[in-house]
Amino acid sequence: MSVQNIRERFFPHIWCPGCGHGTILNNLLHTVQELQIDPSNMCMVSGIGCSARISGYVDFHSMHTLHGRALACATGIKLTRPELNVVVPMGDGDAMAIGGNHFIHACRRNIDMVAIIMNNRIYGMTGGQYSPLSGEGILATTAPYHSIDHAFDTVKLATGAGASFVARTTTFHVKEIVSLLKKAFAHKGFAVVEILTQCPTYFGRKNKMGGAVQMLEWYRDNTAPLGSKKLEENPNLIPRGVFVDEQRPEYCEEYAKIIAKAHKE
Ligand code: SF4
Ligand code: MG
């Protein structure tokens, strides 16, 4: 099914006007189409949250699972059907709080799938609570005077936990989303792609950032590509690009060797 057909069949969606999640879905669909992956060879597994509703808008095999448990379900699917392209979109709370333990262990196992962290720095669906990626000084429903919690850096966390592919971009950089997702799908191993995205309804409104356009402009002005002059001149900007791209033994292949060994005995 083409991107156009999917749009006609499944839209309108439930996300608020200006939400960045639709941009991520759109560019994920373009990636799958450009890579000419048969949708029947795709499997999307999501947890709970605004981001997790993404699995309702694809014509892939899909599972809308428990909060924070998408990677655990996806691991089971991939081990039993290793030929499938498994993609796991998660919100910042879903991936890094409720699912934080599953995330670090999926990174160290190096199982072949694409984990997309849709990071809008807030719990959108439940009303704007701060998440492990909000950071200090952020206003949220549960931090009316401001958050004092230091945020995880997704890239550093994934790298430290052993992910063999780690990248970051934003919803402002739509072509970069497609190019990084293409690399992530081509990678054999656990690929983490963090996409900084906007929740104008809660994060934007509470932190007086304006609407979606102003939030996208913030990503334009406060990020820079790795290795760029802009980043060199202002190291406080958030770096974008591919941070890790390594070949390491992949979990399903190693597991298949164990099964073969067991059959011989
Ligand atoms: Fe998007 Fe925020 Fe609305 Fe959820 S609450 S759909 S994250 S804008
Ligand atoms: Mg969120």
Ligand 1 atom 1: the closest Cα is on which residue? 19
Residue ranges of domains in the chain, CATH in brackets: 8-263 (3.40.50.970)
- Give me the pLDDT at residue 215, please: 98
- Give me the pLDDT at residue 5, please: 73
- Give me the pLDDT at residue 17, please: 95
In SS3 terms, the chain reads as: CCHHHHHHHHCCCCCCCCCCHHHHHHHHHHHHHHCCCCHHHEEEEECCCCHHHHHHHCCCEEEECCCCCHHHHHHHHHHHCCCCEEEEEEEHHHHHHHCHHHHHHHHHHCCCEEEEEEECCCECCCCCECCCCCCCCCCECCECCCCCCCCCCHHHHHHHHCCCEEEEEECCCHHHHHHHHHHHHHCCCEEEEEEECCCHHHHHHHCCCCCHHHHHHHHHHHEEECCCHHHHHCCCCEEEEEEEECCCCCHHHHHHHHHHHHHHC
Q: What is the ipTM of this complex?
A: 0.98
- Give me the pLDDT at residue 1, please: 62
Indicate whether residue 185 lines ligand 1 (CB < 6 A).
Answer: no
Ligand 1 atom 2: the closest Cα is on which residue? 199
| Ligand 2 centroid from CA 212, angstroms | 15
| Ligand 1 centroid from CA 21, angstroms | 8
Please tell me the pTM assigned to this model: 0.96
**pLDDT averaged per 10 residues, the chain (length 265):** 69 91 96 96 97 94 96 98 98 96 97 98 96 97 97 98 98 98 98 98 96 98 98 96 97 96 92
| Ligand 2 centroid from CA 185, angstroms | 23
- Give me the pLDDT at residue 7, please: 67
Question: Which residue of 23, 48, 50 sits with most ligand 1 atoms within 8 Å of its CB, as the best mutation to test the pocket?
Answer: 50
